[in-house]
């Protein structure tokens, strides 16, 4: 990526025409060939840009960026204030925070959130219809199957019910209790779970990952 801060004017010539008068601006040239012109406001949105595929022809005082349609971004440079290039490499992409995999990992590490004396047997315990998120033991040593969701709905309760039916047939595990754990549990899902003897636990993701202290809350 090349970053150039310059006093420049910009003209866009194509289906529409646009002109930016002379002023200090950031010119951003990415590895994909795109060129964009930014001011010191408007957050991420550029003042003008040319998306790839396009071709950049640059001299000391003039850049011409042309796309396949023949449209041009013409940047006239009066003074360059900064010019640097940086190799960023391949981007791994956005990783969403708070997805069920994160909740499962955190709860496995903090299984005491489910209750005093709880211990982890294993994550992703296999069954013929899919893995149970967590298999744990309660303080009395009984086996408990835990299904974890970001948003607890009826489908999740039905899923846990099927796991419990299968696990209950294993003489080494039976009887198996169930815990439905989620950041938010819908009233209908809670009613169904409790009707089937499944305990519901609401997970506070921020507290579990250590970015919130509930003792400092007013409400």
For 127-170, the pLDDT digits (tens) are 999 999 999 999 999 999 999 999 999 999 999 999 999 999 99
Q: Does 74 reside within a domain? A: yes
On whether both 125 and 171 belong to a single domain, the answer is yes
Note down the domain range covering 173: 100-213
110: CATH: 3.40.1350.10
Taking the C-alpha atoms of residue 207 and residue 179, their distance in angstroms, rounded to an integer, is 20
- Domain end, chosen from 85, 111, 144, is at 85
- pLDDT band at 89; cut points 50, 70, 90: confident
On whether both 104 and 199 belong to a single domain, the answer is yes
- pLDDT band at 91; cut points 50, 70, 90: confident
| Residue 212, pLDDT above cutoff 80 | no
On whether both 14 and 64 belong to a single domain, the answer is yes
Candidates 1, 134, 20; CA nearest to 78 is: 20
What is the per-residue pLDDT for 213?
58
On whether both 133 and 76 belong to a single domain, the answer is no
On whether both 135 and 46 belong to a single domain, the answer is no
Q: Tell me if residue 157 falls in helix, strand or coil.
A: helix
pLDDT, mean of residues 86-91: 84
Q: Does 219 reside within a domain? A: no
On whether both 71 and 155 belong to a single domain, the answer is no
- Domain end, chosen from 54, 85, 116, is at 85
Contact between 31 and 41 under an 8 Å Cβ cutoff? The reply is: no
Averaged pLDDT of the chain: 91
What is the per-residue pLDDT for 210?
81
Structure tokens at 161: 């019910």
Q: Does 92 reside within a domain? A: no
Helices (H) and strands (E) in the chain, counts: 4, 12
On whether both 129 and 205 belong to a single domain, the answer is yes
Count how many domains the chain has: 2
Cα dist. 58→46, 71, 77, 81, 136 in Å? Answer: 20, 16, 10, 16, 64
Q: Does 80 reside within a domain? A: yes
- Domain end, chosen from 28, 50, 85, is at 85
Q: Helix axis angle, 187-195 relative to 154-167, nearest 10°?
A: 20
Least confident interval from 10-14, 116-120, 140-144, 206-210: 206-210
On whether both 12 and 69 belong to a single domain, the answer is yes
72: CATH: 2.70.180.20
Total Cβ atoms within 10 A of residue 32: 10
Per-residue pLDDT tens for 40-62? 987 778 999 999 999 999 999 99
Per-residue pLDDT tens for 24-38? 999 999 988 899 999
What is the per-residue pLDDT for 88?
87
pLDDT, mean of residues 4-21: 94
Q: Does 46 reside within a domain? A: yes
| Residue 16, pLDDT above cutoff 50 | yes
Percent of the chain's residues with pLDDT above 90: 79
What is the per-residue pLDDT for 99?
67
């Amino acid at each position: 990526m090349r970053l150039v801060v310059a006093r420049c004017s910009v003209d866009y010539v194509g289906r529409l025409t646009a002109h930016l008068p002379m002023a200090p601006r950031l010119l951003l040239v990415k590895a994909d060939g795109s060129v964009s012109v930014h001011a010191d406001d408007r957050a991420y949105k550029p003042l003008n840009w040319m998306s790839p595929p396009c071709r950049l022809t640059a001299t000391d005082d003039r850049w011409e960026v042309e796309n396949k349609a023949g449209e041009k971004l013409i940047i006239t440079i009066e003074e360059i204030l900064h010019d640097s290039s940086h190799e960023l490499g391949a981007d791994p992409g956005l990783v969403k925070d708070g997805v069920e995999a994160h909740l499962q990992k955190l709860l496995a590490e903090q299984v005491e959130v489910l209750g005093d004396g709880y211990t982890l047997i294993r994550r992703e315990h296999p069954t013929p219809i899919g893995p149970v998120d967590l298999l744990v033991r309660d303080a009395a040593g009984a086996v408990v199957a835990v299904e974890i969701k970001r948003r607890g709905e009826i489908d999740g309760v039905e899923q846990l019910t099927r796991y419990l039916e299968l696990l209950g047939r294993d003489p080494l595990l039976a009887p198996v209790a169930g815990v439905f754990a989620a950041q938010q549990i819908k009233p209908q899902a809670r009613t169904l779970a409790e009707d089937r003897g499944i305990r519901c636990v609401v997970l506070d993701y921020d507290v579990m990952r250590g970015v919130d202290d509930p003792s400092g809350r007013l409400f």
